[in-house]
Amino acid sequence: MQYARETRRNTQLGLVPNTPVPADQSRCSPIFGESQPFEENDSGYSEICLNGAPRQCLQWLAPVLRDLSQANVPGWLTLIDPPDHVSHGWLRAAGLDPQRILIVRPNRGMNSLALCCDILRLGYSHTVVSWLAADSRESAQMAGAARLGNCRSLNVRIEASRAA
């Protein structure tokens, strides 16, 4: 006995590639109020806040970085001043493609935010991942630089877990 299959066309939205969403948005119900469609002029800036030990947080972040490194888009996945134990060895062990990833560490006395914005503006990266404690003004700077460079900015905040 054969069952009829419903064919769906999936589209991709947002920062993480290979994350399918139904093309028929009428089947999706918004969690809070009306959902707004993705617009091309969106800032391209996203932030992830993780709580815990840095190595544990990186394990949570690894699948996101893996999807970004395997994206079929031109340009680099650039990591700006990641935690010290992020190396090409760690990238390989986490299943990431180190040949498509640039790790950029600022020299002593360099401003990490300025470096991040410069790399975003250049546009050679499809996504720039930073580890900055950015406030709203700095987030707006990164969003503007991402728009100018036609790329995405992902800021990762790792907050150490506190014992109760």
CA-closest candidate to residue 101, choices 146, 131, 70: 70
Q: Which of 24-28, 143-147, 156-160 has the highest mean pLDDT?
A: 143-147
Name the token pair of 137. 């003004």
- Domain residue spans of the chain: 69-164
Confidence of residue 117 (pLDDT cuts 50, 70, 90): very high
Name the token pair of 97. 């493609």
Question: Around Cβ 99, how many Cβ atoms within 10 Å?
Answer: 9
Mean pLDDT of the chain: 79
Residue type, 25: Q
- DSSP-assigned states of every residue in 74-96: SSEEEEES--TT--HHHHHHTT-
Question: What pLDDT score was predicted for residue 24?
Answer: 44
CA-closest candidate to residue 143, choices 154, 132, 133: 154
Dump pLDDT digits (tens) for 5-47: 444 444 444 444 444 444 444 434 333 334 344 345 456 899 9
Question: What pLDDT score was predicted for residue 164?
Answer: 42
Question: What pLDDT score was predicted for residue 43?
Answer: 60
User: Strand 45-51 to strand 152-159: parallel, antiparallel, or no bridges (unpaired)?
Assistant: parallel
Higher-confidence residue of 160 and 102: namely: 102
Cα–Cα distance for residue pair 119/63, rounded to 1 Å: 23
Task: Indicate the helix (H) or strand (E) that contains 125.
Answer: strand 125-130
Instruction: Examine the pLDDT at 137 and tell me if it is beyond 60.
Output: yes
Question: What pLDDT score was predicted for residue 53?
Answer: 86
Confidence of residue 108 (pLDDT cuts 50, 70, 90): very high
Return all residues near 148 (Cβ < 8 A) that are at least 6 apart.
120, 121, 123
Instruction: Examine the pLDDT at 3 and tell me if it is beyond 90.
Output: no
Percent of the chain exceeding pLDDT 70 equals 71
User: Which residue matches tokens 């900055």?
Assistant: 132
Residues 68-90, mean pLDDT to the nearest whole number: 91
Distance, C-alpha 36 to centroid of its chain: 21
- 32 CB burial (10 A radius; 0-12, 13-18, 19+): exposed
**Domain 69-164 CATH superfamily:** P-loop containing nucleotide triphosphate hydrolases (3.40.50.300)
Instruction: Examine the pLDDT at 124 and tell me if it is beyond 60.
Output: yes
Instruction: Examine the pLDDT at 75 and tell me if it is beyond 50.
Output: yes
